[in-house]
Amino acid sequence: MSMQHVLDYLKQNQARFLSELCEFLRFPSVSAQSQHKDDLRACADWLVQHCRSIGLKAEVCPTAGHPIVLAKTPHVAASRNGKHRPHYLVYGHYDVQPPEPLNLWKSPPFEARIEGRSLFARGSTDNKGQIFAHLKAAEAYLKTGTPLPCDLTFLIEGEEEVGGENLVEFLKTRRKELHCDAIVVSDTGMPDKKHPALTYGLRGIIAFEIILHGPSRDLHSGIFGGAIENPAIALSGMLAKMHDKNGKVAVPHFYDGVLPLSAYERKQFKRLPLPDSALQKLLGVKKLYGERGFTATEQRSARPTFEINGLTSGYQGEGSKTIVPAWARAKITCRLVPNQRPSHINKVVCDYIKKVCPPTVRLELEAGHGAEAYYVSPTGAHAQAALRALRGAFGREPVLLREGGSIPIVNEFKKVLGADTLLLGLGLPEDNAHSPNEKFDLDNFENGQRMSALLWQELNATS
Amino acid sequence: MSMQHVLDYLKQNQARFLSELCEFLRFPSVSAQSQHKDDLRACADWLVQHCRSIGLKAEVCPTAGHPIVLAKTPHVAASRNGKHRPHYLVYGHYDVQPPEPLNLWKSPPFEARIEGRSLFARGSTDNKGQIFAHLKAAEAYLKTGTPLPCDLTFLIEGEEEVGGENLVEFLKTRRKELHCDAIVVSDTGMPDKKHPALTYGLRGIIAFEIILHGPSRDLHSGIFGGAIENPAIALSGMLAKMHDKNGKVAVPHFYDGVLPLSAYERKQFKRLPLPDSALQKLLGVKKLYGERGFTATEQRSARPTFEINGLTSGYQGEGSKTIVPAWARAKITCRLVPNQRPSHINKVVCDYIKKVCPPTVRLELEAGHGAEAYYVSPTGAHAQAALRALRGAFGREPVLLREGGSIPIVNEFKKVLGADTLLLGLGLPEDNAHSPNEKFDLDNFENGQRMSALLWQELNATS
């Protein structure tokens, strides 16, 4: 059996693959919401059954949180000539972001809807659809009896959207078994359908939560207002000090060590097919805005940020309620770039928040552990193999990207398994990842399957 | 017959008055709950019968909502010398707040319970007990045959707790008949039993709602963060500009025309028995805070404010969600003081909000109609008469109060009837108005009757 059989098999089975993916998308596997615990377990069970049905050896691996699904191609002994048989790890996640606000969805988030070449559902692009493309490529090898030139292990976790620590524990415990030549992840994006992409850099992240406590209870704003600090006003005042007038983060030492963009990178970025005007239209903003001296592409991929993800204080309902709220909260995340250490950012941000907090309120401040940014040379052998697979699958010249999002686990792969990660994303900017009406492009689904099938050959040719 | 007969009559009939008040309190006249419609009607009927039994000419006046009780002293023709015979309106309400949560009541809310000098029941202090004190004073005049130096009209409504518009309609319809020299209301408070009080000022109010729209949907903060304005950050920046570092509202022209506190008022405020340390403890704040140059009492009663009542943006739930929110909202109310016109404040606040709004977001701004502040000169003839009545009834030197809240009907009295209102509250801070275990102090009940009886003489001496 040859590669052509694999590609033919993929071509012939698209309708079934789609219906299977819809089934996968039906599970409301929202890892952030504790009421969905059983849904995550059910989703993992379904996934294991599915992996077994396509010929993989699969198991549900319990963790302290949501379970991990592990699935392997049938073990092949070292090849005839005693040469090292490569082993690649394919990583993905079956958990999804919360679907809220529900009223903005045009169809229910967990009932997949097909419209043209788009598949709408929470998790369709992030990440169920993308990991499913890799599974279908493996299925094509296994069901056509075409020999894989390598061993594959699929590692599909349930805590990616909540940054769970359990996967790291799992990597450490199973370090030997998971030892591999490289990790392949499709959880990033491509700039448009005509530009398949290899992502060679990611931003890191660190989360903070500020709660300012004022009076011991919500107070009548008529009887008491004027003589006490309003925590929502105090919080606004603090948050207003987080950026300077050039759009730079105003926290002292925030930019310590930030890796500057090379002339080569800035040139590569200019090849990208998304002009500012198109980005502005895509996002529906009145005007683009960011750190002065950088293009929008640079701002959102290679520069650090300080973002408010949520604000809460006082009355949230209809009409008005005349209170001085007892507390005010901001949920914050900073995106980090290569050479920014999360522990350093944690310290300088917390120091600054404490410094700008007025003495009239009590500060409750929490910081997450954070994840470093990631950066790998795009000229290495693995990256070059990946670019060939992309070219072959999409029939187009791929671009090189740095992405603004974070995939913390990529750093752990490097640290624990000692291997680099190839980021071969199939998501599009208009896919609404983390937003209402998330979708996945069905051409990318199909090209992604082909890319995965070709990749194992190209990596083998390289090694 | 002389004033002494009136006072003796009051003294001799306390036991009966108390039992009548208990009967009045037995009606669950909860205006907010439609299942109590008949109870309100029954309460109004009882009240009319009671007014008639003490010698008043009384009627139930239907409205589009709950009825109004109108009761008048027998008409007296213009006095011998042809001098204008004064007419005063006594306003109160027979409707009460919902009693819920019922499990927190130590005895059933509609079965009055006496413990020491406290009478526990829903409506005891707010407002059945207070209006009943005025009725008993009138009874004492009528039953002892002591000539009243004025005509009195009792206007007792059934929709105060639901802010109904029907009373305003009623005032307009009966404008001529209700024309009066002043309105007397006992529905405010006194700082403690040792300090009877005349409230001579109330703050007004105006509400605003700001919504800043950024991207057309919540965006992935990794993929897009850095190249667009975060509406929550933009909002924080705007709200941070609403106060200066001295705690003053920074909106230009906000203080235009604000009536300054006189030396006399500031001296009066210093007599109030709530020191800053006690207020700080009562509210549970780390530190008091307000406009520099004013005491806490002044800040919360005689100075305008700009308060955030609610903040909402992005993710509100458990854990974190890495988004740039599509929008951010602030609910705002300003408390106004005498001579600040709501329409002017509306204009200057909206102008300023528009001015400080960055061009990167779309501003949605709504303003409520607002209510003016209220102020009656504490050195005027009516106020001085009221202070003499308080002094005589309580045997203590009364204090002068300005309250930070709003009582909208007082402005309507001024607008429709052209008369000022004397606010002579008999409630104590510990009376639990609107809360479980509402009570009324029986000494205040008795002193309130005497105050009412003396008031008509003192007002007459003045006019």
Q: Three-state secondary structure along B398-440?
A: CEEEEECCCCHHHHHHHHHHCCEEEECCCECHHHCCCCCCCEE
| Whether residue A331 sits in one domain with residue A228 | yes
Contact state of A289 with B229 under an 8 Å Cβ cutoff: yes
Boundary of a domain, candidates B367, B382, B409:
B367
Task: Report, as an integer, the average pLDDT of A372-399.
Answer: 92
Amino acid at A429: P
Would the pLDDT of B281 be above 90? yes
Which residues on adjacent β-strands are paired with residue A151? Answer: A87
Q: Does residue B445 share a domain with residue B311?
A: no
Q: How many domains does chain B have?
A: 2
Four-residue CA torsion sign, A163, A168, A170, A175 = positive
Q: Which of B218, B227, B288 sits opposite A435 (nearest CB)?
A: B218
**CA pair distance B193, A74, nearest whole angstrom:** 87
Q: Are A212 and A450 in contact (CB under 8 A)?
A: no
B236 contact residues in A (CB cutoff 8 A): 235-237, 239-240, 308, 311
pLDDT digits (tens, 9 = 90+) for A54-86: 999 999 999 999 999 999 999 765 444 567 899
* pLDDT reported for residue A373: 93
Give residue for tokens 């990529």.
A410
Mutation for testing the A interface, residue in B307, B333, B340 having most A CBs under 10 Å: B307
- Report, as an integer, the average pLDDT of A94-98: 96
Euclidean distance between CA atoms B397 and B46, whole angstroms: 37
User: What band does A406 get if pLDDT is binned at 50, 70 and 90?
Assistant: confident
Q: What is the 3-state secondary structure (H, E, C) of chain B?
A: CCHHHHHHHHHHCHHHHHHHHHHHHCCCCECCCHHHHHHHHHHHHHHHHHHHHCCCEEEEECCCCCCEEEEECCCCCCCCCCCCCCEEEEEEECCECCCCCHHHCCCCCCCCEEECCEEECCCHHHHHHHHHHHHHHHHHHHHHCCCCCCEEEEEEECCHHHCCCHHHHHHHHCHHHHCCCEEEECCCECCECCECEEEEEECEEEEEEEEEECCCCCEECCCCCCCCCCHHHHHHHHHCCCECCCCCECCCCCCCCCCCCCHHHHHHHHCCCCCHHHHHHHHCCCCCCCCCCCCHHHHHHCCCEEEEEEEEEECCCCCCCCEECCEEEEEEEEEECCCCCHHHHHHHHHHHHHHHCCCCCEEEEEECCCECCEECCCCCHHHHHHHHHHHHHHCCCCEEEEECCCCHHHHHHHHHHCCEEEECCCECHHHCCCCCCCEEEHHHHHHHHHHHHHHHHHHHHHC
Tell me the C-alpha to C-alpha distance, in Å, between residue B317 and each of A321, B112, B214, B236, B308: 21, 44, 21, 20, 21
Cβ-count burial of B136 within 10 angstroms (0-12 exposed, 13-18 middle, 19+ buried)?
buried
pLDDT for residue A191? 87
Q: Say if B293 falls within a structural domain.
A: no
pLDDT (average), residues B247-259: 97
Q: How confident is the model at residue B72 (pLDDT cuts 50, 70, 90)?
A: very high
> How far out from the chain centre does Cα B152 lie?
22
In which residue are the tokens 């997949």 written? A112
> Is residue A333 located within the same domain as residue A399?
no
Last residue of a domain, one of B313, B334, B367: B367
**Do residues B297 and B269 lie in contact, with contact meaning Cβ atoms separated by under 8 Å?**
yes
State whether B235 and B194 are in the same domain: no
Q: Residues A193, A430: contact at Cβ < 8 Å?
A: no
Which CATH number belongs to the domain containing residue B167 in this structure?
A: 3.40.630.10
Give the pLDDT score at A310: 98
The pLDDT assigned to B1 comes to 64
Best A162, A320, A323 member to test B by mutation, with max B CBs in 10 Å, is A320
For chain A, give the percent of residues with pLDDT over 90: 82
Q: What percent of chain B has pLDDT over 70?
A: 98
Residue range B202-226: mean pLDDT, rounded = 95
Dist CA A351 CA A252 (whole Å): 9
Statement to judge: residues A156 and A42 lie in one domain: yes
In sequence order, the β-bridge partners of residue B375 are B201
Phi, psi dihedral angles at A322 (to 5 degrees): -90, 80
Q: Do A233 and A176 have their domain in common?
A: no
Residue with tokens 């409301």: A28
B211 and B308 part of one domain: yes
Q: Which residue of A220, A323, A434 is in closest CB contact with B220?
A: A434
pLDDT of res. A462:
67
pLDDT at residue number A371: 86
Q: Do B224 and A283 touch (CB under 8 A)?
A: yes
Same domain, yes or no, for A336 and A352?
yes
Claim: this prediction has a pTM higher than 0.90:
no
List of chain B residues whose C-beta atoms are within 8 Å of the C-beta of residue A232: 239, 308, 310-311, 330
Of A91, A98, A108, A100, residue with least CA distance to A22: A108
Lowest-confidence segment of A106-115, A206-215, B277-286, B383-392 by average pLDDT: B277-286
Interchain CB distance below 8 Å, A224 and B300: yes
Contact A405 B220 (CB under 8 A): yes
CB B66 within 8 A of CB B95: yes
C-alpha distance from B59 to closest chain A C-alpha (Å): 35
| Calculated CA dihedral for residues B132, B137, B141, B147, nearest 10 degrees | -120
Mean pLDDT, chain B, rounded, equals: 94
CA dist A331 → A211, A214, B194, B318, B325 (Å): 9, 18, 48, 10, 11
Q: What percent of chain B has pLDDT over 90?
A: 87
Distance CA(B352)–CA(A68), nearest Å, equals 54
Q: Which amino acid is at B436?
A: P
- Examine residue A326 and state whether it is found in any structural domain, yes or no: yes
Place A6 in a pLDDT band, splitting at 50, 70 and 90.
very high
Is residue B289 a part of any domain in this protein? no
Tell me, yes or no, whether B378 and B362 share the same domain.
Answer: no
Q: Is the same domain home to B61 and B156?
A: yes
Task: Report the alpha-carbon distance of residue A47 to residue A386 in Å, rounded.
Answer: 26
Q: Chain B: give the shortest CA distance to residue A68, in Å.
A: 21
User: In angstroms, what CA-CA distances link B334 with A322, A324, B236, B373, B403?
Assistant: 9, 11, 18, 11, 15
Q: For residue B406, what pLDDT band results from cuts at 50, 70 and 90?
A: confident
Tens of pLDDT, residues A272-302: 888 888 899 999 999 999 999 999 999 999 9
Say which amino acid occupies A394: F
Ordered strands of the A204-213 beta sheet: A362-367, A204-213, A327-336, A305-314, B305-314, B327-336, B204-213, B362-367
Among residues A367, A390, A415, the one where a domain terminates is A367
Is the C-alpha dihedral spanning B183, B185, B189, B195 positive or negative? positive
**A299 in a domain, yes or no?**
no
The C-alpha R_g of chain B, in whole angstroms, comes to: 25
pLDDT digits (tens, 9 = 90+) for B328-382: 999 999 999 999 999 999 999 999 999 999 999 999 999 987 889 999 999 999 9
Model confidence at A46: pLDDT above 60: yes
Inter-chain touch A236–B233, beta carbons under 8 Å: no
Instruction: Give the dihedral sign, CA A234/A240/A242/A244.
Output: negative
Contacts by residues B386-391 (CB-CB < 8 Å, ≥ 24 positions apart): B386/B198, B386/B422, B386/B424, B386/B455, B386/B458, B386/B459, B387/B198, B388/B454, B388/B458, B389/B424, B389/B451, B389/B452, B389/B454, B389/B455, B389/B457, B389/B458, B390/B196, B390/B197, B390/B198, B390/B424, B390/B451, B391/B196
Who among B223, B323, B358 is closest to A403 (CB)?
B223
Backbone dihedral region for residue B180 (phi beyond 0: left; psi -120 to 50: alpha; all else: beta): beta
Of residues A408, A337, A347, the one with CA closest to residue A208 = A347
Q: Which residues of B232-255 are buried (b: 16+ CB within 10 A; e: fewer)?
A: bbbbbbbbbbbbeeebbbebeebb
Please count the other Cβ atoms lying within 10 Å of the Cβ belonging to residue A250: 15
Question: Which of A209, A189, A256 lies closest to A405 in space, CA to CA?
Answer: A189
Query: How high is the pLDDT of residue B405?
Result: 86
pLDDT tier for residue B262 given thresholds of 50, 70 and 90? very high
The ipTM of this complex is 0.87
Determine, yes or no, domain membership for A192: yes
- A270: confidence class by pLDDT, cuts 50, 70, 90: confident
In a domain, B296, yes or no: no
Q: Which residues of B touch A309 (CB under 8 A)?
A: 221, 232, 314-315, 320-325
In the structure, what pLDDT confidence band is assigned to residue A463 with cuts at 50, 70 and 90?
low
CB B29 within 8 A of CB B158: yes
Residues A71 and A214 grouped into a single domain? no
pLDDT of residue A321: 84
Query: Where residue B81 falls among pLDDT bands split at 50, 70, 90?
Result: low
pLDDT of residue A461: 85
Let me know whether B458 and B339 are in one domain: no
Min distance A21 CA to chain B CA atoms (Å): 23
pLDDT at B106 over 70: yes
CB half-sphere exposure, A261, CA atoms < 13 A: 21
pLDDT value for A357: 98
Is B286 part of any domain?
Answer: no
B172, part of any domain: yes
What pLDDT score was predicted for residue A267? Answer: 85
- Distance CA(B420)–CA(B382), nearest Å, equals 9
Contact B228 A283 (CB under 8 A): yes
Alpha-carbon dihedral of residues A170, A172, A178, A181, nearest 10 degrees? 130
Tokens for A158, please give them. 């349930």
Q: What is the CATH number of the domain that holds A340?
A: 3.30.70.360
Q: Which domain holds residue B432?
A: 3-202+373-462
Q: Judge whether residue B65 has pLDDT over 70.
A: yes
